[in-house]
């Protein structure tokens, strides 16, 4: 028996999200563990909206893959993620300048989020929704 919260990482399919909830997960992390392991695997951003729909607010959905700038965080939140993990970005700052490097990375990410919000005339990430961004799968479907 697990004592504490159970968070399952590596969810890339809505059915896996449903199963995680059914088996007691307290949260899930949509992640491809740092990169596509197969050329034909889906991108995390592409599958995020379907997973969010499958979870339907029952548990938090955390996004973790490919975060390199504030706009990446903005897109994940707009597509329904409750939180975003920044992955390697903070490590780059840490390696270069220790704590101040991490603080700089966080400032840069915040600035990117603020710029994206400003461009939409919004003041808070809580105001975001799917209509604020076009998911890659929607974009390619529109191209036909």
**33 a catalytic residue:** yes
Q: Which residues contact 107 (CB under 8 A, 6 or more apart)?
A: none
Choosing from 9, 15, 33, 96, which is the catalytic residue? 33
Determine if residue 57 is left, alpha or beta; phi over 0 gives left, psi from -120 to 50 gives alpha, anything else beta: left
The CA-based diameter of the chain, rounded to the nearest angstrom, is: 49
Give me the active site residues, please: 33
């Amino acid at each position: 028996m697990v004592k504490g919260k159970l968070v399952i990482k590596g969810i890339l399919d809505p059915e896996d999200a449903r199963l995680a909830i059914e088996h007691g997960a307290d949260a899930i992390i949509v992640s491809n563990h740092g990169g596509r392991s197969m050329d034909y695997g889906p991108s995390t951003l592409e599958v995020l909206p379907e997973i969010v729909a499958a979870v339907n607010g029952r548990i938090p959905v955390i996004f973790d893959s490919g975060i390199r700038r504030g706009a990446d965080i903005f897109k994940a939140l707009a597509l329904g993620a409750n939180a975003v993990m920044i992955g390697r970005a903070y490590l780059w700052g840490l390696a270069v300048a220790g704590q101040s490097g991490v603080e700089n990375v966080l400032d840069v990410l915040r600035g990117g989020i603020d710029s994206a919000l400003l461009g939409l005339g919004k003041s808070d990430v809580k105001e975001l929704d799917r209509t604020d961004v076009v998911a890659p799968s929607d974009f390619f479907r529109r191209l036909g």
